[in-house]
């Protein structure tokens, strides 16, 4: 009987020890599991880093990326381009002052140096529209006689030079006197002497013609934004990511649009709101109620057309539908389609 009681007591003590050990280990095991998304702090949830107002990735039910072209010469966009208050002027000044960072393209991966930014703003002189490889191959040097197009130096036609009549050189003395101008015998005796060169003329013509584009020349903006439906708030949002400055083809020598730089919109919004009374959207109807440019973008007070919607081929609408006119029509249809899509979510 005593042995039975001893065995039973030993079994009870072992069971109590095991349960206490399990209770100590259970919180550590549960701590290794990630908490549900809804229970995590807002700072730990997944959010888009490039967004001005981030939305939790778990709350995004639908998203597509749009590229828009904003012509600042349109009447609706002129408040962004008022005299001495051009948005392009402010973005360029912000980059030169070191307040804004400029990027090579809308991927926002490669940052431009101040020298690269200045080079993109520089007008190209005659013949400079060629690439570096084309200039290295000899293209554009025909006037200088550096190459005949076959890798050899340009040959001068000595026969043609010998047949030139001497009367052409005496046709005018520079004062309208014709070929009967008196000759200086002292100068004629110095035969074979090299003529003096006009160094002033050579110096002015050899200087490269490099000028900077004015802010008023940059009349096109390209906007990249995400069209997002937030299922938590049950509404859609336009999440703008970047703004690209573009010099239109009519202003460039090559005849193509030229991208100057891209700015992260989150930085641009902070830059505009830093001085609400300076960066104004000009109100033509009421000069007492000018808006800040950041507020004007939030209120969608600009006119633009869709150039591209995210797709596997990364193709523009004009490329998909075979022409600029067809692309313009499809862009308008896409605007209505997105508006109708949100409306139909709540239509029963």
Q: What is the pLDDT of residue 347?
A: 73
Q: Work out the pLDDT band at 225, boundaries 50, 70, 90.
A: very high
Secondary element (H or E) of residue 225: strand 220-230
Tally of domains within the chain = 1
**Average pLDDT value for the chain:** 78
65: domain range? 44-125+213-310
User: How much is the pTM?
Assistant: 0.65
Q: Which range has the worst mean pLDDT, 14-18, 151-155, 223-227?
A: 151-155
Q: Is 251 helix (H, G, I), strand (E, B) or coil?
A: helix
pLDDT: which is higher, 282 or 33: 282
Dihedrals phi, psi of 272, to nearest 5 degrees: -65, -40
Asked whether residue 155 is domain-assigned, the answer is no
Q: Work out the pLDDT band at 345, boundaries 50, 70, 90.
A: confident
Asked whether residue 345 is domain-assigned, the answer is no
Q: Work out the pLDDT band at 306, boundaries 50, 70, 90.
A: very high
Q: What is the DSSP letter of 254?
A: S
Helices 87-96 and 114-121: angle between axes, nearest 10 degrees: 150
Q: What is the pLDDT of residue 185?
A: 47
Asked whether residue 131 is domain-assigned, the answer is no
Helices 265-273 and 87-96: angle between axes, nearest 10 degrees: 100
* Mean pLDDT calculated for residue range 26-43: 46
Asked whether residue 160 is domain-assigned, the answer is no
Q: What is the pLDDT of residue 281?
A: 98
Q: What is the pLDDT of residue 261?
A: 98
Q: What is the pLDDT of residue 177?
A: 58
Q: What is the pLDDT of residue 199?
A: 45
Asked whether residue 94 is domain-assigned, the answer is yes
Q: Work out the pLDDT band at 204, boundaries 50, 70, 90.
A: very low
Does residue 17 have a pLDDT over 80?
A: no
Q: Work out the pLDDT band at 75, boundaries 50, 70, 90.
A: very high
Asked whether residue 217 is domain-assigned, the answer is yes
**Percent of the chain's residues with pLDDT above 70:** 61
229 Cα distance to chain centroid: 26
pLDDT: which is higher, 265 or 14: 265
Q: Work out the pLDDT band at 49, boundaries 50, 70, 90.
A: confident
Does residue 6 have a pLDDT over 80?
A: no
* Mean pLDDT calculated for residue range 187-197: 49
112 Cα distance to chain centroid: 11
* Mean pLDDT calculated for residue range 90-104: 97
Q: Work out the pLDDT band at 45, boundaries 50, 70, 90.
A: low
Asked whether residue 178 is domain-assigned, the answer is no
Question: 220 forms bridges with which residues in the sheet?
Answer: 71, 246
Residue 236: name the closest of 160, 344, 322, 329 by CA. Answer: 344
Asked whether residue 146 is domain-assigned, the answer is no
* Mean pLDDT calculated for residue range 143-169: 51
Q: Is 303 helix (H, G, I), strand (E, B) or coil?
A: coil
Task: Identify how many contiguous H helices and E strands the chain contains and give both numbers.
Answer: 11, 10
Q: What is the pLDDT of residue 242?
A: 98
Does residue 22 have a pLDDT over 50?
A: no
């Amino acid at each position: 009987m005593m042995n039975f009681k001893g065995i039973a007591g030993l079994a009870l003590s072992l069971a109590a020890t095991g349960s206490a050990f399990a209770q100590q280990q259970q919180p550590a095991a549960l701590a290794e599991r990630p908490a549900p998304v809804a229970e995590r702090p807002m700072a730990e949830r997944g959010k888009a880093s490039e967004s001005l107002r981030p939305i939790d990735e778990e709350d995004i039910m639908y998203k597509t990326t749009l590229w828009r072209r904003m012509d600042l010469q349109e009447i609706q966009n002129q408040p962004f381009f008022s005299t001495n208050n051009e948005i392009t002027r402010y973005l360029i000044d912000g980059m030169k002052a070191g307040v804004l960072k400029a990027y090579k393209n809308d991927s926002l991966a490669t940052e431009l140096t101040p020298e690269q930014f200045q080079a993109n703003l520089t007008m190209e002189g005659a013949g400079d529209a060629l690439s570096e490889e084309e200039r290295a191959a000899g293209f554009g040097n025909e006037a200088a006689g550096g190459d005949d197009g076959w890798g050899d130096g340009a040959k001068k036609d000595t026969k043609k030079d010998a047949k030139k009549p001497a009367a052409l050189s005496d046709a005018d003395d520079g004062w309208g006197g014709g070929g009967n101008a008196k000759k200086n015998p002292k100068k004629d005796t110095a035969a074979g002497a090299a003529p003096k060169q006009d160094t002033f003329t050579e110096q002015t013509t050899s200087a490269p013609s490099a000028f900077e584009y004015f802010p008023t020349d940059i009349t096109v903006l390209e906007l990249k934004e995400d069209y997002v439906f937030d299922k938590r708030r049950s509404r859609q949002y336009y999440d703008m990511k970047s703004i690209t400055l573009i010099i239109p083809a009519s202003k460039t020598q090559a005849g193509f649009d030229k991208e100057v730089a891209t700015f992260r919109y989150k930085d641009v919004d902070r830059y505009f709101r830093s001085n609400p009374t300076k960066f104004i959207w000009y109100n033509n109807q009421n000069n007492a109620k000018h808006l800040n440019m950041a507020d004007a973008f939030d209120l969608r007070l600009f006119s633009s057309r869709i150039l591209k919607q995210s797709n596997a081929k990364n193709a523009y609408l004009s490329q998909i539908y075979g022409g600029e006119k067809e692309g313009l029509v499809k862009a308008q249809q896409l605007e209505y389609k997105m508006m109708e899509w949100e409306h139909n979510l709540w239509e029963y």
